[in-house]
Amino acid sequence: MADLKRSQIRVIEEAMAFPRGYGYVLDFSDRTIQEFFEDEFGIDIFAPENKANGSSKRNCLTMLLLRVDQQTALRVLRALWERREGLLESLPSSDEAETAKAKSRAFQQVINQVQAEPAPLTTAGVEAFVRDRTLEELVADIERSLAANKPEVAIDHLHTYCMKKFSHLLEVRGQTCDKDEPLHSRFGRYRKCLEAEQSLHEFTSRALKSFISLFECFNDLRNNHSLAHDNQLLAPMEARFIFSSISAILVMLRALESARYGE
């Protein structure tokens, strides 16, 4: 989600009150705003989920912005800003015009703030792949950390998840893992299985090989830069990059596993 603050929502609502007043969205009627959102974004602005706080155009727009992902919210806000600027061009010079322009500048600042926010992390690569209470609690804890925007806290459990994941992927192939076998060694053995089972493109093969060193480095991160021990945590932005990188690897491997079964 775009994770808009209440102060940002107020700025948007005040900007949208021009020229018809608070509760409206620019110069739209119910029909024209519905057509605008359907044509521009493929969105039903009056869908039931957008009416949770009321059926006015303002309420529906606010709920939509709170529900959609960051990129969709940015597309909507930019389109509304452009329409508002078009309306302002025909406004004669007056105190009212200056006030409207000031609100337009504040609206533009909100757009810039949303654009500057990093996209929310997801747990796309993290799933409960077998029925196991420990695994389910592990996934739930990772999800809670990301929901709180604390990827640096999730690093430790993401490493544990990877240990369990590659142990499972080896076990279904008839191979066992020693409890003390490090993550990169487990992945290295798993990589050999994948390459024996599938005809992989050279790029994919090289990428898999490079992942071994990444997982070896991930061991160090877990031991020396996570809550696994009394460590100095990673900076949030660096933790975001690491989490998203490991997650992307897991997503790719899930796709390769699906190909193994012809899915």
- In angstroms and rounded to an integer, the radius of gyration of the C-alpha atoms of the chain is 25
207 with 244, same domain: the answer is yes
Mean model confidence pLDDT for the chain: 90
Q: What is the mean pLDDT of residues 42-66?
A: 94
Nearest to 120 by CA among 157, 145, 144, 149: 149
Domain count, the chain: 2
Q: What is the mean pLDDT of residues 24-40?
A: 95
Last residue of a domain, one of 64, 88, 115: 115
Contact between 62 and 9 under an 8 Å Cβ cutoff? The reply is yes
Among the ranges given (111-120, 195-204, 221-230), the one the predictor scored with the smallest mean pLDDT: 111-120
234 with 142, same domain: the answer is yes
Place of tokens 């808009």: 4
Reported confidence tier of residue 121, pLDDT bands at 50, 70, 90 = confident
144 with 254, same domain: the answer is yes
Task: Please report whether residue 253 resides in a domain.
Answer: yes
103 with 34, same domain: the answer is yes
Task: Please report whether residue 126 resides in a domain.
Answer: no
Instruction: Give the three-state DSSP class for 18.
Output: coil
C-alpha distance from residue 221 to each of 23, 51, 188, 233 (Å): 51, 45, 18, 9
Domain enclosing residue 196, as ranges: 133-260
What totals of helices (H) and strands (E) does the chain contain, helices first?
10, 0
DSSP secondary structure string for all residues of 123-148: -TT----S--HHHHHHHHHHHHHHHT
Task: Please report whether residue 149 resides in a domain.
Answer: yes
